[in-house]
Amino acid sequence: MIAVDDLVALVRLYNPKTDEALIRAAYDYGAHMHEGQTRHSGEPYFSHPVAVAAILTEQRLDDATIITALLHDTIEDTKASYPVVAERFGTEIADLVDGVTKLTNLQLSSSETKQAENFRKLFMAMSRDLRVILVKLADRLHNMRTIRSMRPEKQVQKARETMDIFAPLAGRMGMQWMRDELEDLAFKVLNPEGRASIIRRFITLQKEAGDVIHRITGDMRAELEKAGIEAQVFGRAKKPYSIWRKMQEKEMGFSRLSDIYGFRVITETENDCYRALGAIHQRWRAVPGRFKDYISQPKSNGYRSIHTTVSGRDGKRVEVQIRTQKMHDVAETGVAAHWSYKDGVRSENPFAVDPARWLSSLTEQMGAEEDHEDFLEAVKLEMYSDKVFCFTPKGDVVKLPRGATPIDFGYAIHTRIGHACVGAKVDGMRVPLWTRLKNGQSVEIITAEGQQPQATWLDIATTGKAKSAIRRALREVDRGRFIRLGRELARSAFEHVGKKATDKVLETAARHLRLEGRDEVLARLGSAELTANEVVRAVYPDLSDDDSDTVDTRRAVIGLAPDQTYNRARCCRPLPGERIVGITYRGKGVVVHAIDCEALARFEDQPERWLDLHWQSGKHPPIHTATLDVTIRNDAGVLGRICTLIGEQRANISDLEFLDRKPDFYRVLVDVDLRDAEHLHTVTSAIEAESDVAAVRRHRDPNRAGAPGGQ
């Protein structure tokens, strides 16, 4: 464990004016609070907070952040409290420690909806003080460095969470060194064989070709000296995970990869960056399409650098990054550069981005997302994306993620432009809307009056802003259609019992059904989320037809010919209330599939067999079976409680199949007889609320698709 004198010495290297007494006091307090606690490895627990603080000194962070690292587990894991920490070290540090504690308690790798809500909380914590996430990232880095002392299943969980969330977040904040190390440490857990294979191939390559990095570095230094440019040159082999990712993306083996080496040229001035670029391009042939100028067009996290790829010795491709020392400092620490100290004062780096402005740009489009899954998608798109820069016809620059299309470009300019898009021109040429845009292209959006977003655009768009705007527009269009359909269904249903579906009657139904108002009742009625009988019964319980025996189950599906019979597809098992289509079989009737069933792909070239179907309004007997995939704690009585919960929701279990039985958890497939999609939602919500349930989802098996009778 690092001694307090050594930790103070690390801080004094960049901040001679540090409050040494306060750091020592925090060190002593943390050691006292964690006394007697040990890590999985058997080391004293306090060695972990001290290591986290040491990681943060590498980024030259302020005293408050270093002290927060020393105390970051005290409120959660010891008898310490917020008031005591505030009294001893001030409210700023107490707030930071409290923020880290709340982040630690977020289960970011839980179910989708819960994960999305926790991402919201993560971004709220970041918006209050970004130093909270800097401490959390350093905490995760040290935990990953010492992960071998954890149980194997815990290692996999933490590694997956690191790969999916913390590594991309570090990259998005500009801390590329931390992203690289987090990814490599996670890769070592998730795919040790793949990582070891790449390392072995590197060793073999080095034996065959010698020290390529040393030779190319020497060549570059010679060329820069010849051009009279003062610069430092560093070379390195890329991290194993970075190489693995390229192999997967390009679908090629290690031997065919060419750009596995990277070089950095650190110059004294910005002008020298472009001079160095010219010298390198004169000596080596530039690879077309691999040049990016992030100096003239910086990334939103403050990153500035020139990127180019050239063919080096023996035709090997090498990536070169050219930047000044101040640009390099920001490239290493990203948004954290805002708090960096040098000689006891806040570092005045002109390229360090304002954290408030960075967070504002990151969260702007996410704030409009009401749906949890939409928000989660927007967050992940933003965290993983790299940028391309395109131009409007007037020359304005539009930043977009890599892979963006003209649809994304239109919505980036204005939602109105996106909605009215009917076509696009790229560099003066008409192109399809699914075209992937490239750096430096000029894009013109062609619009038309009366144009509305199309559902297919969701597959074309890549940005969260575009997708959420398209979804909102489609919901409005669908809602209007559902309201009109619902009004007709309500009129018919109320006339059937001798009443009228007036606005007052529908408002009464909304109150009894606990919905927002008349239009919400009509929209749910038109979309089959409510039945006409349920609406009538909400207002006139004595008049509605509640005899389920009168329902003609043979006519439960609308859209069939009088002589056609139907079966639910065994692959997706659609429920009343879900959108459905039918596939016809000669002499065998119709198989009904959910609209999103994967098995429908095999019938795409046979449109004559498709039928547009929907469920008949009215009561359906509880004979519709759906399969649930439930992960539960392997403990006495847990499965019994789950079965009881399902029974309490008036659902019947028809079959059970056990999967992946582990010492602590196991999965079970449960076949449940349900009335409709709403009943399914009720059952899954009740199961998910049980504390011993880790996950529950609808299980569908596309391999079970087929014609009626098993063909």
| Residues annotated as part of the active site | 76-77
* Cα–Cα dist 536/517, whole Å: 15
Residues 262, 235 contacting (CB under 8 angstroms)? yes
Could you give the residue ranges of the DSSP H alpha helices within 649-703?
Answer: 677-688
* Rg of the chain taking only CA atoms, in angstroms: 31
Residues near 575 by Cβ (< 8 Å), separated by ≥ 6? 624, 626, 674, 676, 677, 679, 680
* Cα–Cα dist 471/434, whole Å: 18
* Cα–Cα dist 244/184, whole Å: 10
Instruction: Map tokens 């602590």 to a residue.
Output: 664
Q: How far apart are the first and last CA of the chain?
A: 67
Q: Phi then psi for 666, rounded to 5 degrees?
A: -150, 160
Instruction: Map tokens 């009778």 to a residue.
Output: 709
Residues near 381 by Cβ (< 8 Å), separated by ≥ 6? 401, 462, 463, 464
Tell which residue, 316, 322, 317, 315, has the closest CA to residue 296. Answer: 322
H or E stretch covering 431: strand 429-431
For residue 106, CA distances in Å to 125, 264, 376, 399, 652 come to 11, 38, 15, 31, 35
Tell which residue, 500, 501, 477, has the closest CA to residue 487. Answer: 501
Could you give the residue ranges of the DSSP H alpha helices within 430-463?
Answer: 457-460
